[in-house]
Chain A
Amino acid sequence: MSGGVDSSVAAALLKEQGYDVIGMMLRLWSEPGKEDSNRCCTPDSMAQARRVAAKLEIPFYVIDAKNVFRETVVQYFLDGYARGETPNPCLICNRQIRWTFLLDHALALSADYMATGHYVRKQTVEGQHQLLRAVDRSKDQSYVLHVLAQEKLAKALFPIGDYPKTEIRAIAERYGLPTASRKDSQDLCFLAGEDYRSFLQRNAAEMLQPGQILRRDGQAVGMHNGLANYTIGQRKGLGLASPVPLYVLGKNSVTNTLIVGTQEELGSHELITRDVNWISGEAPKEPFRAEVKIRYTAKEAEALVTPMEGDQVRVRFDAPQRDITAGQAAVFFQGDVLIGGGIIL
């Protein structure tokens, strides 16, 4: 539970369906001096979650996860930028914190399932668990859950995914629960509503070393002020004088150089992913067609997905894609079903 409308309604729906529900909240992060400003687990949101639990007449516990969160999620975030990637820490949080650490605690409390307020659906067909996009496509959060293995899905419940957002709000009103939701989860919860650059400045300043900006042919065109300050596809703020607009194409963390190029150079037909997770638990033997999202907010693009050696997958798009960013996840869908996903190299 977070105190927000989605998890509150999830709890209410499960209680309605006859489950014995226990509410749990994680204390994830607090930067000393900024305890009240992280988006997720402030004392206020905790009090809110507690009120919701009291209204629903379910027990409520807070679990301290600060150390493991810092060591896995925040560290992953910092390491990703150090490698010149744009990491998505929510993926690690879901896998390591929510669906390992928290799930272990839930099971220790003798729970049979753990439920969240994610907009996503689970379906079990002949013993195989499937992850499906939410009925309300505009709210679908299946992207961040592509990391789940069968054994975790077996313990999962996602009551919200079957409803459109408007109905969730109506249910919340019916129960007298808070109806405001958090701002849509693109800003990272531990960034306290500020820019990630200030966070890096405070926590890993050594990462922000100036270096050269190069074209693909090696021609130097300027200086950058720290690779982590730039995102793939970025045009503004490069400080370059050029007759044609230049875009960030990539980063080389070894040489600490930023690679820029024209719009034509920006798109690519192909990407490779590592650390692939297949929801079914097994890599498909043959290449297959899928709709692929390269970012949480990206529109799906048609592609051919080819499983390769080890944990890697090649994705070849029908049309060139801009902003393919190392560190983000590429997630493969067939219709509503999420097949799998991996981290873009």
Chain B
Amino acid sequence: MVYLDYSATTPVDLRVVNAMTPYFSASFGNPSSVHRYGQVAEAAVDSARETVASILNCRPDEIIFTSCGSESDNLAIRGAAYAMREKTGAKWILTSRAEHPAVTKTLLHLEKYEGFLVEWLDVDEYGMTTPEAVSKAICDNTAVVSVMYANNEIGTINPIKEIAEICRANNILFHSDAVQAAAYLPLDVQALGVDMMSLGAHKFYGPKGVGALYVRKGTPLVSHLTGGGQEFSLRAGTQNVPYIVGFAEALQLTNEERDQRVTHVRPLRDQIIGTVLEAIPDSRLTGHMDSRLPHHASFAFKDVDGNLLLTLLDAAGFACSSGSACKTGNPEPSEVMNAIGLSRDWGLGSLRVTLGVQTTPADVNSFLHILPELVERARKLK
């Protein structure tokens, strides 16, 4: 099998596993305990926090560890929405139509159950949210703006810095879901200008089950998981020490090796994009050509059942994903496909191919060798 679905998840780097291991049985204490077992565990969490803070260029007490990127999104959006409403009465939340479900579902929830109002910004045909669109939509009653750093389905990188400037100028909190971006893009929160930023370890060779939220000092936030006061009383629950250690180690390695990793994947991605658009009729690239994650290639094929294409690919030994796939065999084009204006006959045929450190040129060649034939088969079976 050839794995080409790194945007879905990544294998845990052996160095990360090694860093985590001592904290399962040897140094297993609860960081909240007074005794030395607790002290050792707390030190590990603190050290992890410092590592992450240094990479993000922020203070350690601005890092909250969570269970995953989705939880970070929930904490940021809910927490800021409640806090801002309490503080200023603001009840509008602004976001784009191309966000991850962890953001959109949370907003729909807030709308339905909590009386918030959500404005959905249109994205352009590349899925990009422009600063102008944000500028137009912002008002006095806006509590939070949430726009993702990079899109998981179509790879587009948003102009976060410019959007952050607009929010800052208008005194509005700005959250960015950086879960997909973290593996390859710079994360300096001062340069980016964000007030909150979500991360999830399993996208950058860390384990599943741990994430983090950057929260700029002074950002009002109401906690989500309440209880024992951990994580500055913003996220209760005994810290998952080994996984937090793993998160930090994985992020550290990502930061150190970023340039090499980009250099490794980018040419392979470009080869895929170039070959597919040339060799397969009725195919198009989804997402922006240039402002794009370096490991991410995504396409729409006309009159193809995306789910079926994934099945054919899997049977042929290639693991990819699709914006329109569904394990229960009930495919519909995703929201993102609709947001970028794809008609149904294109939107159902999306394919996402994402590369990683272990992807070799031989992998890419064999994939490109067989893909045209499989697209053809999928079209014939329609």
**Chain A positions within 8 Å of B87 at CB level:** none
A110 at the interface (CB under 8 A from B): yes
Contact A64 B327 (CB under 8 A): no
Contact of B311 (CB < 8 Å), options: A43, A46, A61, A104? A61
Q: Which B315-370 residues have a C-beta within 8 angstroms of A?
A: 315-316, 327-331
Contact of B331 with A108 in the complex, beta carbons under 8 Å: no
A27 touching B329 in the complex, CB below 8 Å, given contacts A63-B308, A64-B305, A108-B381: yes
With the chains together, A147 CA to B316 CA distance in Å? 32
Residue of A nearest to B308 (CB): A63
Which residues of chain B have C-beta atoms less than 8 A from A63's C-beta? 308, 311, 329
Report B293-311 CB contacts with A as 1/0, cut-off 8 Å.
0000000000001011001
The answer for the CA separation of A25 and B308 in the assembled complex, in Å, is: 12
Question: Using Cβ atoms and an 8 Å threshold, which residues of chain B touch A27?
Answer: 328-330
Interface size classification for chain A: 10 to 19
Whether, in the assembled complex, A105 has its beta carbon less than 8 Å from a beta carbon of chain B, the answer is yes
CB-based contact A62/B315 at 8 Å: no
> Any chain A CB within 8 A of the CB of B314?
yes
A109 within 8 A of B: yes
Q: Which residues of B have CB within 8 Å of A110?
A: 315-316
Are B315 and A46 closer than 8 Å at their CB atoms? no
- As a 0/1 sequence over residues 271 to 312 of chain B, the CB contacts with chain A under 8 angstroms (1 = contact) are 000000000000000000000000000000000010110011
**Interface readout for B230-251 with A: 1 if CB under 8 Å, 0 if not?**
0000000000000000000000
Q: Which residues of B contact A105 (CB under 8 A)?
A: 308, 381
> With A104-B381, A108-B377, A108-B381 known to touch, is A64 a contact of B331 (CB < 8 Å)?
yes
Distance in angstroms between the alpha carbons of A46 and B381 in the assembled complex = 22
- Chain B contacts for A188, CB-based, 8 A: none
Q: What A residues does B331 contact at CB under 8 A?
A: 64
Knowing A108-B312, A109-B311, A109-B312 are in contact, say whether A62-B328 is a contact too (CB < 8 A). yes
Please, what's the 1-or-0 string for A16-53, where 1 marks a CB less than 8 Å from any CB in chain B? 00000010011100000000000000010010000000
Interface centre among B312, B327, B328 (most CB of A within 10 A): B328
Q: Return A155 CB to nearest CB of chain B, in Å.
A: 16
Please name all residues of chain A whose beta carbon is closer than 8 Å to the beta carbon of B377 when the two chains form the complex. 108
| Interface-central residue, A27, A43, A66, by most chain B CB under 10 Å | A27
When each residue 185-209 of chain A gets 1 if its CB lies under 8 Å from chain B and 0 otherwise, what string results?
Answer: 0000000000000000000000000
Alpha-carbon distance A250/B331, docked complex (angstroms) = 44
**A102-118 vs B: 1/0 string, CB under 8 Å?**
00110011100000000
**A43 adjacent to B315 (CB under 8 Å):** no
Q: How far is the CA of A216 from the CA of B138 in the complex (A)?
A: 80
- In A129-188, the 8 Å CB interface with B consists of none
Instruction: Indicate if A59 sits at the interface (CB-CB under 8 A).
Output: yes
Task: With both chains docked as a complex, state the minimum distance between the C-beta of A281 and any C-beta of chain B, in angstroms.
Answer: 26
User: What residues on A are CB-neighbors of B328 within 8 Å?
Assistant: 27, 43, 46, 62
Q: Which of A22, A62, A105 is most buried by chain B, counting CB atoms within 10 A of its CB? A: A62
Q: Is the CB of A62 within 8 A of B305?
A: no
Closest residue of B by beta carbon distance from A67: B382
Contact with A59, one of B314, B329, B381 (Cβ below 8 angstroms): B314
Partner of B330, one of A64, A104, A109: A64
Binding site for B on A (CB under 8 A): 22, 25-27, 43, 46, 59, 61-64, 66, 104-105, 108-110
A-B contact list, 16 entries, CB within 8 Å:
A26-B329, A27-B328, A27-B329, A27-B330, A61-B314, A62-B327, A62-B328, A62-B329, A63-B311, A64-B305, A64-B307, A64-B330, A66-B330, A108-B378, A108-B381, A110-B316
Given contacts A46-B329, A63-B308, 4 further A-B contacts (CB under 8 A): A26-B329, A104-B381, A108-B378, A108-B381
